[in-house]
């Protein structure tokens, strides 16, 4: 076709392309176009001048385009002039003649003047007007078709989807084009009298448009992932838009900037690829994915959440371990003075015989006590090794850093969880949630699935019953009394266990004073054993007590957790208080030793060198030097022992309580008088909450003791690693899926909050000891200082320039610190109040939205009714007057959106709105390609 050689009008090309693409949509296009053109044509018939303008404008545009493609100027002008003439003629004729005739003549004239593209358009419009009535019919058909579509159950959804997608796509293409066109229109209109339009090859506006289009494409690419389309379409769209972006992205810059831009784009791509690789690597590094998945499929997400929590803990401990190991233990072991060089690094003479015994080592005495594992081994030398590693400072900073890091991680996780949860407290959708979200898609085990079915059924039934008699409450006094009684009993338990621990710790101190060698294993490990046993049996007791008060199971679970939490906390704190007592005792002892030390030293000097005044180095074996009791190491040892015994009890209960029980039930079932598997003992369930609590407390002890025993994170890492495998195995082989499955996500923040509380409570005593108790005089990195904090001051004085110390001292005086604290408090208050108001506004908005939604629906229904009525009337009218069909067409067009939206509510109304807005849909590629090629 010749018009391809000429610079074709955009609309023509577009139609062709679209026809090639998709029949339905091209039809749609043509219709829209016809509409708009028809409208314009009508206007033109009313107003000849404007029509001329339009013609002129079209020709001018064409001319300018030609010019921009480096065709001869003159020719364009000639053509243009010719055009003007013809259009003028047409206008005159037009006034005289009927509209249709004019169009016909016009078409003839133009065809004779070799302007084939224009002719094409004209003829089309001509046909258009001929077919106006047909058009209306078509539209009606289309409506019918639409409705059919909606009724057709199989395809609609997908089609809708595609509709929306394609419309969006079209919109995106259309937008730049149409806007630029309208702009050029306005441009040419403003310069109407000038002979030639002064449209440059690439105006800044066009550039802007292009940029916008590219940006939109980019946005589409990034948001593509979040669209619910099938993969194929995503791929197609992605490829198209990527091509588009690639084509035009480079063209946006100019000269040097362009190169830079291209470079930037390239780097961006590289960076993206790198990020993706990193992401892949990261996911490959996450351990135990398969194990957890298996558990998930057998036990649902709640049990798996425990293991995910365990893995998370493992990660944290890994980092803590890295800190202490890399910055404290390794430097000391490599660069510090070797074993046996000082008294604090040697086993004392009287213990040397038994220092290698396994029992002693297991107790972390003997050689283990005098090693990098404990506080006492470290020297107070300021800088060690050839690196001048500041050991005491590093020790202190690592101690602070572990705590700070833990706080940061816990709080960040909590915040993220809170974000994800959203408005989970809302109970207005109780039933809907039960139906829509109760199935756990991770379950892949038929047995679990059966359990889940039963569980869901009971929950439905319960909910219905509750709904039916939610107001009925029988004998509130009895339940109240029982609850009070239960709480009283629990309090008694707590107090009793607290006293027991206190008593045991005191007793153990007495034993220790008398010398441990006279006592057996039980006396030595009494404290830890009692604590572990209490932790094991008290929860069972609480469980029994909690049956007295018949709470809803979820609330009961929380009460139970709270009580166990209180128990553990009480135990831990009595333990710490007892330890404090022990510290006081040790310090008293230390004073005595100090005095004796001076006497001993004096004796030594007097004994070995009575007459020689030159101070020679005294060579005494460091094992013989008398030493203080070193309370820090004692504290560290206590914690390590506690952890070990705790771990042991956990594993043993796991083995006995779960494994043995399962074995017994399995094998004795054949020769027993009742059904063991479904009767009394049955198999055990996995106790998620108890296990999580145990984990949390374990972590709390780590945080508390890590300062005095740098080996604790390592130990904990080992423990977590082992328990991961052991518990995975135990769960898979001897537990049954829970009958009552609690969702994990709701309580995860509850656990996190507990972790935070524990973290806070465990840092309190550690900080107290660091700040207020003077370190012992002959062991540890801070020996010889008044307070452990003095390390910082020392570093400031010696390692930093003087002005820094001055600034620091100014900054730390109370006159500055107090206002700063005040400011912080104010800021917190302000943020809190703003968040509160935001919440309230949010709620109000939600309410408003709901009411508006309802109103809208009502309105829509009314409108639909109204339009239906009008339609009918109009149809009657249309039968009477066939001439008024065009009006009817508009009428139906207008009335269409509400109708369709009531029929297919899933379709966003926006897509509908823009098709009705009647601007020329266009293909952006054409003009942009032109301009692009122009610039080259």
Partner 1 sequence: TKQEILMAHKIFSELQDRENGPYSSRVSMEKIHTLPELKSNPFRKRICHVFSTSDMKDGSLSFEDFLDLLSAFSDSATLEIKSHYAFRIFDFDDDGTLDARDLEKLVNSLTGETDDTRLTGEEMRQLISNILEESDIDKDGTVNLSEFQHVISRSPDFVSSFKIVL
Q: How far is the CB of 432 from partner 1 (least distance, A)?
A: 4
Q: How far is the CB of 744 from partner 1 (least distance, A)?
A: 7
Residue 438 and residue 459 in contact, taking contact as beta carbons nearer than 8 Å: yes
- Beta-strand relationship, 735-736 and 684-685: parallel
Residue 155 and residue 149 in contact, taking contact as beta carbons nearer than 8 Å: yes
Long-range contacts of 380-385 (CB under 8 A, 24+ apart): 380/780, 380/781, 380/782, 380/783, 380/784, 380/785, 381/336, 381/337, 382/794, 382/798, 384/331, 384/332, 384/335, 384/336, 384/337, 385/331, 385/334, 385/335, 385/336
In the bound state with partner 1, the residue whose beta carbon lies nearer, of 235 and 618, is 235
Q: How far is the CB of 418 from partner 1 (least distance, A)?
A: 11
> What is the C-alpha to C-alpha distance for residues 735 and 730, in angstroms, rounded to an integer?
7
DSSP state of 384: B
- How large is the C-alpha radius of gyration of the chain? 42
> What is the torsional sign of CA 705, 708, 713, 714?
negative
Q: How far is CA 400 from CA 327, 364, 405, 407, 518, in A?
A: 13, 25, 9, 11, 40
In the bound state with partner 1, the residue whose beta carbon lies nearer, of 263 and 453, is 453
Q: How far is the CB of 159 from partner 1 (least distance, A)?
A: 11
Q: How far is the CB of 565 from partner 1 (least distance, A)?
A: 22
Q: How far is the CB of 862 from partner 1 (least distance, A)?
A: 13
In the bound state with partner 1, the residue whose beta carbon lies nearer, of 721 and 743, is 743
**Other residues' Cβ atoms within 10 Å of the Cβ of residue 748:** 19
Q: How far is CA 469 from CA 433, 457, 463, 466, in A?
A: 20, 18, 10, 5
Burial 548-581 (b: 16+ CB within 10 A, else e): ebebeeeeebebbbebbbebbbbbbbbbbebbbe
**Other residues' Cβ atoms within 10 Å of the Cβ of residue 635:** 26
In the bound state with partner 1, the residue whose beta carbon lies nearer, of 460 and 651, is 460
In the bound state with partner 1, the residue whose beta carbon lies nearer, of 798 and 851, is 851
> What is the torsional sign of CA 90, 91, 92, 95?
positive
In the bound state with partner 1, the residue whose beta carbon lies nearer, of 205 and 421, is 421
- How many separate helices (H) and strands (E) can be counted in the chain? 34, 2
In this structure, the chain runs to a length of 936
In the bound state with partner 1, the residue whose beta carbon lies nearer, of 134 and 857, is 857
Q: How far is the CB of 825 from partner 1 (least distance, A)?
A: 32
In the bound state with partner 1, the residue whose beta carbon lies nearer, of 110 and 163, is 163
Q: How far is the CB of 5 from partner 1 (least distance, A)?
A: 41
In the bound state with partner 1, the residue whose beta carbon lies nearer, of 497 and 747, is 747
In the bound state with partner 1, the residue whose beta carbon lies nearer, of 165 and 347, is 165
In 3D, which of 685, 798, 746 has the Cα closest to residue 448? 685
In the bound state with partner 1, the residue whose beta carbon lies nearer, of 436 and 522, is 436
**Other residues' Cβ atoms within 10 Å of the Cβ of residue 936:** 5
Residue 575 and residue 501 in contact, taking contact as beta carbons nearer than 8 Å: yes
Q: How far is the CB of 172 from partner 1 (least distance, A)?
A: 20
In the bound state with partner 1, the residue whose beta carbon lies nearer, of 483 and 743, is 743
Q: How far is the CB of 553 from partner 1 (least distance, A)?
A: 16
Q: How far is the CB of 699 from partner 1 (least distance, A)?
A: 23
DSSP state of 325: I
Q: Which residues make up the interface to partner 1 (CB under 8 A)?
A: 150, 153-154, 156-157, 160, 226-228, 230-232, 235, 276, 279-280, 283-284, 293, 296-297, 301, 420-424, 426, 428-433, 435-446, 448-450, 453-454, 456-457, 460-461, 463-464, 467-468, 743-746, 850, 853-854, 857, 904-906
In the bound state with partner 1, the residue whose beta carbon lies nearer, of 43 and 457, is 457
Q: How far is the CB of 442 from partner 1 (least distance, A)?
A: 6
Q: How far is the CB of 378 from partner 1 (least distance, A)?
A: 44
Q: Which helix (H) or strand (E) holds 736?
A: strand 735-736
> What is the torsional sign of CA 57, 62, 68, 73?
negative
């Amino acid at each position: 076709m010749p018009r391809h050689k000429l610079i074709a009008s955009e609309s023509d090309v577009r139609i062709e392309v679209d026809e090639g693409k998709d029949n339905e949509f091209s039809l749609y296009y043509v219709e829209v176009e016809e509409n708009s053109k028809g409208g314009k044509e009508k206007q033109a018939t009313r107003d000849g001048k404007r029509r001329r303008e339009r013609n002129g404008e079209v020709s001018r545009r064409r001319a300018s385009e030609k010019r921009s493609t480096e065709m001869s100027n003159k020719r364009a002008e000639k053509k243009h002039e010719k055009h003007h003439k013809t259009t003028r003629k047409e206008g005159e004729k037009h006034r005289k003649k009927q509209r249709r005739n004019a169009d016909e003549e016009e078409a003839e004239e133009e065809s004779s003047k070799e302007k084939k593209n224009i002719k094409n358009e004209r003829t089309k419009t001509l046909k258009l007007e001929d077919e106006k009535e047909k058009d209306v019919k078509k539209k009606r058909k289309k409506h019918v078709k639409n409705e059919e579509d909606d009724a057709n159950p199989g395809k609609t959804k997908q089609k809708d989807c595609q509709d929306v997608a394609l419309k969006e796509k079209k919109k995106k293409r259309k937008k730049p084009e149409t806007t630029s066109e309208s702009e050029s229109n306005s441009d040419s209109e403003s310069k109407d009298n000038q002979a030639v339009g002064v449209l440059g090859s690439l105006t800044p506006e066009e550039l802007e448009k292009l940029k916008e289009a590219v940006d939109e494409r980019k946005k589409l690419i990034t948001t593509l992932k979040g669209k619910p389309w099938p993969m194929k379409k995503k791929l197609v769209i992605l490829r198209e838009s990527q091509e588009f972006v690639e084509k035009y992205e480079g063209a946006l810059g100019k000269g040097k900037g362009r190169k830079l831009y291209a470079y930037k784009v390239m780097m961006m791509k590289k960076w993206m690829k790198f990020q993706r690789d990193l992401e892949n690597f990261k996911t490959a590094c996450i351990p135990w994915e398969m194990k957890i998945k298996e558990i998930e499929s057998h036990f649902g997400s709640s049990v798996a959440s425990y293991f995910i929590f365990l893995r998370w803990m493992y990660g944290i401990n890994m980092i803590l371990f890295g800190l202490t190991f890399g910055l404290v233990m390794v430097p000391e072991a490599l660069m510090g003075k070797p074993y046996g060089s000082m008294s604090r690094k040697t086993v004392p003479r009287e213990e040397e015989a038994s220092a290698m015994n396994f029992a002693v080592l297991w107790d972390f005495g003997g050689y283990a006590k005098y090693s990098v594992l404990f506080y006492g081994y470290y020297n107070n030398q300021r800088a060690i090794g050839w690196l001048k590693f500041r050991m005491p400072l590093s020790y202190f900073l690592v101690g602070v850093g572990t705590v700070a890091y833990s706080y940061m991680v816990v709080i960040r996780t909590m915040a993220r969880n809170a974000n994800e949860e959203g408005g989970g407290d809302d109970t207005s959708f109780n039933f809907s949630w039960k139906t829509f979200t109760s199935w756990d898609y991770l379950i892949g085990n038929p047995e679990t699935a059966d359990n889940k079915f039963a569980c869901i059924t009971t929950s439905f039934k319960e909910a219905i019953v509750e709904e039916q008699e939610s107001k009925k409450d029988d004998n509130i006094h009895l339940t109240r009394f029982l609850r009070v009684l239960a709480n009283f009993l629990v309090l008694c338990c707590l107090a009793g266990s607290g006293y027991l621990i206190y008593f045991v710790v005191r007793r153990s101190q007495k034993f220790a004073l008398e010398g441990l060698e006279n006592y057996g294993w039980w006396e030595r490990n009494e404290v830890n054993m009692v604590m572990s046993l209490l932790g094991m049996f008290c929860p069972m007791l609480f469980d029994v007590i909690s049956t007295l008060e018949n709470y809803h199971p979820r609330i009961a679970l929380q009460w139970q957790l709270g009580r166990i939490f209180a128990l553990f906390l009480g135990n831990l704190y009595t333990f710490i208080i007892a330890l404090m007592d022990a510290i006081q005792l040790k310090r008293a002892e230390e004073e005595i030793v100090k005095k004796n030390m001076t006497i001993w030293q004096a004796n030594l000097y007097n004994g070995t060198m009575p007459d020689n005044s030159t101070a020679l180095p005294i060579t005494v074996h460091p094992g013989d030097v008398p030493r203080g009791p070193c309370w820090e190491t004692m504290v560290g040892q206590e914690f390590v022992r506690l952890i070990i015994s705790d771990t042991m009890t956990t594993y043993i209960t796991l083995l006995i309580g779960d494994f043995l029980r399962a074995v017994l039930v399995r094998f004795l079932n054949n020769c027993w008088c009742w059904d063991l598997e479904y009767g009394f003992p049955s198999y055990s369930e996995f106790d998620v909450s108890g296990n999580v609590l145990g984990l949390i407390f374990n972590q709390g002890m780590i945080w508390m003791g890590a300062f005095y025993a740098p080996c604790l994170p390592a130990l904990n890492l080992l423990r977590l690693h082992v328990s991961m495998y052991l518990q995975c195995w135990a769960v898979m082989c001897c537990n049954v899926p829970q009958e009552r499955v609690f969702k994990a996500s709701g309580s995860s923040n509850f656990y996190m909050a507990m972790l935070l509380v524990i973290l806070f409570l465990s840092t309190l005593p550690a900080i107290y000891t660091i700040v207020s108790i003077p370190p012992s005089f002959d062991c540890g990195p801070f020996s010889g200082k008044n307070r452990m904090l003095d390390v910082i001051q020392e570093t400031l004085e010696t390692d930093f320039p003087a002005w820094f110390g001055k600034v620091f001292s100014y900054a730390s005086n109370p006159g500055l610190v107090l206002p700063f604290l005040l400011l912080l408090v104010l800021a917190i208050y302000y943020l809190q109040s703003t968040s509160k108001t935001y919440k309230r506004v949010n709620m109000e908005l939600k309410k408003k939205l709901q009411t508006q939604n309802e109103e809208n629906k009502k309105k829509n229904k009314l409108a639909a009714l109204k339009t239906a009525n009008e339609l009918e009337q109009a149809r009657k009218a249309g039968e009477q007057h066939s001439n008024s069909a065009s009006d009817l067409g508009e009428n139906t067009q207008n009335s269409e959106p509400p109708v369709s939206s009531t029929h297919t509510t899933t379709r966003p109304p926006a897509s509908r709105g823009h098709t009705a807005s009647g601007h020329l849909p266009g293909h952006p590629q054409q003009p942009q390609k032109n301009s692009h090629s122009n610039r080259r």
